[in-house]
Amino acid sequence: MLSTLLPLAALPLAAHALIDFPADNRMVQEPGMIRYPITVSEGAPSKNNVLRRQNSVDLSPQKTGYFYSIQVNMGTPAQAVSVNFDTGSDELWVNPVCSKSTDAKFCETFGRFNGSQTFVDLHKNATIRYGTGYADIEYGYDYIQIGSAKISQQMFGVATDSKFAVTGILGAGPSLSGWDNSYPRVVDSLAKQGFTNSRAFSLDIRSLESNRGSVVFGGIDTQKFSGKLEKRPIIPAASSPDGHTRYWIYLDGISVTKRNGSVIDIFDQPNGQAVLLDSGYTVSALPKAIFDKILAAFPDAKPPPQGTDLYQVPCSTGNSSTDYVNFKFGQTVINVAYNDFIWHQPQYGICVLGVTADDNLPVLGDTFLRAAYAVYDQDNRNIHLANSKDCGSNLVAIGKGPDAVPSVA
């Protein structure tokens, strides 16, 4: 059985503000937290449709869209490997088989984990399945370094075979079977080994044109959101749409605001719709009854071509920063401008609506998260949300206990 090392150092438990940090997304490590840059990558060109998430993760962003990755250093000597940062799955795995990916050359740019002197093979295998792909992985453990935080004995998977994937995945979600994982995932290890005070992180992925996105493990950046953080309880697995432990929360309403000031109400009902906040999903997916009302707000939308679920809209519509799709959570409304909500596909000369119909697995993916600042608090089973902004940097560590995440404005 894999043992967990004791924390490397005792760190302060109280949240505290830090000042004079670089305003961009450069790595910063302070007691209780690590800010680390996130990079947006364009997936290998493909006309395959957006797939439904199966079991743990979905490969469609890597096949057809944009996905967000971070670079980790693995093993001895340290080897840089970029992995998809995914809040919809929980495990870390690397080394997809590039010859079976959607773009072998693109796959090779993300680095490989090879020949570590400190890797311990656990001789334990698993298969992660997707809508039309898979990854066969062999487990082991080794050093994993995020910035200057060097995690000891982190268990992860090395792919022995895979299909479609161009990069590995760092899952930042809980195990599907519950909050007490069978072995420490990366978010667990950061807390257990003293780099963060609790199992919490904030995500700020930014727009496709920005290079300032970041994840703050164990902290928040008060200059990256406006207003107060709205605390929303995570829906227990037994009450969730798929019966699994994920970042499910209730959405209370949706509306569309046109540039002329007119408002189209889609729905408005407390705890009206469960949604999964998933950074590994290029678009969003909502039940057909809700989707049809959103679609009606885009009268120029054209039906999807064969082989896809995504409606096309004029790119002039997709360039708008004065029309919004609004998502209500309690007292907070996240305003998503059309230029974030509509997915531009310049390789095909088209733009598509950033939502599709799915009655089984409703997801708010990157077409929502680009406009939101989201704090994922595993220890307290909460998600905190606010509208994103970019006004410098003021990092605050998340402490422990039920009020560990400050709601500061």
Question: Would you name the residues annotated as active-site residues?
Answer: 86, 278
Instruction: Check if the beta carbon of residue 35 is closer than 8 Å to that of residue 109.
Output: no
Q: What count of other Cβ atoms lies within 10 Å of the Cβ of residue 167? A: 25
**Roughly how many angstroms between the first and final C-alpha of the chain, as a whole number?**
45
DSSP class of residue 101?
A: B
Distance CA 257, CA 241 (A): 29
User: From its phi and psi, is residue 401 left (phi > 0), alpha (psi between -120 and 50) or beta?
Assistant: left
> Which SS3 state, helix, strand or coil, does residue 293 take?
helix
Q: Which two tokens stand for residue 118?
A: 């400190």
Q: Within 24-132, where are the H helices?
A: 60-64, 104-108
Sequence-distant (6+) residues with CB within 8 A of 53 are 88, 131, 278, 280, 281, 361, 363
Strand partners, 71: 82
Q: Which residues contact 261 (CB under 8 A, 6 or more apart)?
A: none
- The C-alpha angle 169, 357, 210, rounded to 5 degrees, equals 45
Instruction: Judge whether 172 and 187 are in contact, CB under 8 Å.
Output: yes
Q: Is 316 left (phi over 0), alpha (psi -120 to 50) or beta?
A: alpha
